[in-house]
């Protein structure tokens, strides 16, 4: 019998495998990932004072998924909520409900911290992820805008 996948906080020793996973995530979204960006995000994940935190899914001693999240103030609620920035599972581990498990772990963290909601965004054409998100959450009617400065 194979041991279960372990969901845990990202650790300093995870860097090489985390880096490879995050690069695959960036490649999927066709976002350039220069070394200085990788180093910045890794630095955030290792800094207990930074808002960004990371979870990983470990299977047989290797990372097969990641989730980056943070606290997000919600002024209309007068409270913090959670925001899921990044979720990625390796192609060979897809179909094992690891994305769902990472989100479920984030839900536990949100309850522990008193966050009444978790929000995230995804690309409109990311149909596989949207299938997961439709199972675990509710699509809102909000549209996303941004300004490049």
What is the spatial distance between Cα 50 and Cα 40, in angstroms, rounded to a whole number?
11
Residue 1's pLDDT band, with cuts at 50, 70 and 90, is: low
Q: What is the pLDDT of residues 39-69, one digit of tens each?
A: 999 999 999 999 999 999 999 999 999 999 9
The CA R_g of the chain, rounded to the nearest whole Å, is 15
pTM of the model: 0.93
What is the spatial distance between Cα 36 and Cα 38, in angstroms, rounded to a whole number?
5
């Amino acid at each position: 019998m194979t041991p279960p996948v372990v969901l845990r906080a990202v650790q300093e020793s995870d860097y090489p495998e985390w880096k490879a996973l995050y690069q695959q995530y960036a490649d999927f979204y066709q976002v350039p990932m220069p070394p200085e960006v990788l180093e910045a995000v890794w630095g955030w994940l290792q800094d207990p004072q930074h808002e960004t935190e990371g979870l990983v899914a470990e299977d047989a001693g290797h990372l097969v998924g990641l989730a980056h999240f943070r606290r997000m103030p919600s002024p209309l609620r007068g409270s913090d909520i959670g925001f899921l920035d990044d979720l990625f599972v390796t192609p060979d581990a897809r179909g094992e409900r690891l994305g769902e498990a990472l989100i479920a772990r984030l839900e536990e963290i949100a309850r522990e911290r008193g966050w009444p909601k978790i929000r995230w965004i995804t690309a409109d054409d990311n149909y596989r992820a949207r299938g997961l998100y439709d199972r675990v959450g509710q699509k809102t009617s909000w549209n996303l805008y941004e300004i490049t400065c």
